[in-house]
Amino acid sequence: MIVIGSDHGGLSLKTALKSYLTRRNIVVSDAGTETDASVDYPDFGLKVAEQVAAGSFDLGILICGTGIGMSITANKVPGIRAALVTDVFMARMAREHNNANVLVLGGRVLDEQKACDLVGAWLDATFEGGRHQGRLDKITDIEKKYN
């Protein structure tokens, strides 16, 4: 199951991605926003990140205008590895090397087809472990140091 959230700048892309995920037989929970009225991206970024960190969902997707704000917000939550991606290689590497549990996209910089391609590449990739796990362990140690 995936939880997805956006601000007003990502609402249109979120709607398209929900349809794409449903066609892939993936259950999707929508954490908001529901309208194109201006909202604050940290509210929705935190909501999705906390649900993933708590184990309520395996993965999350966040969308704001550029993806930058959502990425910054989500990565403040311990246990979250949010990756802002703009091409298929980055999406695949986010999973294979970084085991990203939240994918972040820019609703104002990606068209629907490209966003679906990125989500598909991320979902179809598998974490490689090995030397990459050691690097993730170092990130966890950093989180522990400052929390």
Query: Catalytic residue positions?
Result: 64, 97
Instruction: Locate all alpha helices (DSSP H) within 1-147, ordered by sequence.
Output: 11-23, 41-53, 68-74, 88-96, 112-124, 131-146
CA–CA separation, 27 and 52 (whole Å): 14
CA distances from 5 to 42, 81, 97, 123, 132 (A): 11, 16, 24, 17, 28
